[in-house]
Amino acid sequence: MDKIKIVIQAIPFCFGPGAQALAIGNELRQRLGKDLELIALGIGTTYEFLKMSGSFNEIYRYSSEKSISKKIKKILTEADKIIGIGDFEFIDQVYDLNRKVDFVDPLFWMWGEFPRNISKCNQYYAVDFPGVRKSVNEYNLEFPKRLKPIIVSQICEYEHKKIQREKGVFLIQFGGVDNPMGINIYTMLAMIEEISKSIKGVPSVKKILVRGGSKIMKIISKKIRRIDPRIEIGTSEHEQLLKELSGCEAVLTIPGMSIVYEAFASKTPLMFILPLNYSQHRQTEAYKKLFQSFSIVSWEDFVGYKTLPKGIPEREAIQKSIEMGKQFYSDNKAREKFKAEVLKFIRNEDKRTLRSKRSKESKALKINGAQEISKKIINELKSNQN
């Protein structure tokens, strides 16, 4: 097989899309080795995350909200394969260059209607999650048969290295927060401050690692009040984050996707804390279908708060979430209840790991999507060269 050039682009929504781009890139690298030239496109946290990984030959700043530069046009037109993750505007921009993208949609389960511009894709991958299989099977496909969505497993690290867990070390993960539509900083600040208070007088807690995109962590560091010295706020590159996840006593995380599946794979005890954006509100409901009883603190636990309703526009939902965060930040009674729930989890010796409910949705717990996608891509490339 001749040397090939593959470009991967991911939407800038913090840990998830960047981690998926990295997982697919690593799989391609493992299968193609020195025959692969791997290029990444991204901005914000996605750019930072992929640059820190060291897995790409080159990485360029790119935003689908702006016109494509001559340099990026050249890269895309010369590529043997273009992969996009979660950014529908990227599909259109690539199509305008008379190219087609292999598109990976981690949020197919959330859309109220079938994405219309998949007709411009070379291939469309819908990442499995509760509701995805039903939607794909029930949809009266209007596009050519070859464009029927291919359902793939969740995309994360397929195998976790076994690391000795360190008692008293906790990881708090804020993925998916650096949202172009708005950042729910108030809920984050309130939760970190209350977690800091909750460990006061608990000497068994050695360290709490607060992780997220560098932009968000810098904002938090400047704004946070009354912080316990055992709390470390910062950003970790992918491999380090996986080590922290596998080696901590437990993780407290907003209900995203990548980090939850990583915790499931590594059997790390987990507690869900308050969701910060619309997809995280929806994911909380989905996890109730996937997993047996688990530790969680949700908006319904507090008087005057509730999970965002299904079906409202994402931009409107994010603004509502930000408004709810402002209310929570000033609500001492709600914050006190949150602190009590976190303290109960930290002190509990028998912390819960995520366990499959073995329901009809259990297929959505498979985690080798990067392998599935890379295998299909390589088979197509080989076919084209023959």
Range of the domain at 291: 166-347
d(CA 206, CA 97): 54
Local structure of residue 254 (DSSP, 8 states): -
Is position 322 within any domain? yes
Question: 263-300: string of b/e by CB count within 10 Å (b at 16+)?
Answer: bbbbebbbbbbbbbbbbbbbbbebbeebbeebbbbbbe
Q: Is 94 part of any domain?
A: yes
Cα-flanking dihedrals φ and ψ of residue 198, to 5°?
-65, -30
Distance linking the first and last C-alpha atoms of the chain = 9
Rounded Cα gap, residues 253 and 266, in angstroms: 15
Same domain for 324 and 235? yes
Beta bridge partners of 104: 85, 125
Same domain, 220 and 326: yes
360 located within any domain: no
Could you give the number of structural domains in the chain? 2
Distance of CA 281 to the CA centre of its chain: 14
In whole angstroms, give the CA distance from residue 336 to residue 321.
Answer: 20
- Within the chain, residue ranges assigned H as helices are 15-32, 44-53, 70-78, 88-95, 132-138, 185-198, 214-223, 238-247, 258-266, 278-290, 314-329, 332-347, 369-385
* 45 and 122 part of one domain: yes
Going by C-beta distance under 8 Å and a sequence separation of 6 or more, which residues neighbour residue 232? 207, 208, 209, 210
218 shares its domain with 290: yes
Same domain for 136 and 52: yes
Asked if the structure places residue 358 within a domain, the reply is no
pTM: 0.87
Which phi and psi (to 5°) does residue 62 adopt?
Answer: -150, 135
Q: What is the rounded distance in angstroms from the CA atom of residue 309 to the CA atom of residue 311?
A: 7
**Is the distance from CB of 256 to CB of 281 less than 8 angstroms?**
no
| pLDDT for res 339 | 96
- In a domain, residue 212? The reply is yes
pLDDT at position 178 is: 66
Residues 140 and 269 in one domain: no
Q: Is 32 helix (H, G, I), strand (E, B) or coil?
A: helix
CATH number at residue 113: 3.40.50.2000
pLDDT for position 141: 55
Q: What strands lie across the sheet with 81-85, from one edge to the other?
A: 58-61, 36-42, 4-10, 81-85, 102-105, 123-127, 150-152
Q: Are residues 285 and 371 in the same domain?
A: no
Asked if 199 and 237 sit in the same domain, the reply is: yes
Q: Is residue 355 part of a domain?
A: no
Are 122 and 183 contained in the same domain?
Answer: no
- Same domain for 69 and 188? no
Q: What is the pLDDT of residue 87?
A: 93
**Contact yes or no for 39/6 (Cβ under 8 A):** yes
3-state SS class at 253 = strand
CA angle 94, 96, 97 (to 5 degrees): 65
Does residue 152 lie in a domain region? yes
Is residue 235 domain-shared with residue 200, that is, in the same domain? yes
Q: 362 lies in a domain? A: no
Residue in this structure with the two tokens 């329901």, named with its chain if needed: 359
Dihedral pair phi/psi, residue 5, rounded to 5°: -115, 125
pLDDT (tens place) for every residue of the chain, 386 residues total: 568 999 999 988 767 888 899 999 999 999 998 889 999 999 887 888 888 888 899 999 999 988 899 999 999 999 999 999 999 999 999 999 999 999 999 988 888 677 778 889 999 999 999 888 888 877 655 555 667 789 999 998 756 667 889 999 999 998 766 666 667 889 999 999 999 999 998 999 999 999 987 788 888 888 887 789 999 999 888 788 889 999 999 999 998 888 899 899 889 999 999 998 888 888 888 898 899 889 999 999 999 998 888 878 878 888 898 999 999 999 999 999 999 999 999 999 889 999 998 777 788 889 899 999 999 999 998 887 76
Q: Do both 177 and 92 map to the same domain?
A: no
Which tokens go with 1?
A: 């097989």
71 strand-pairing partners: none
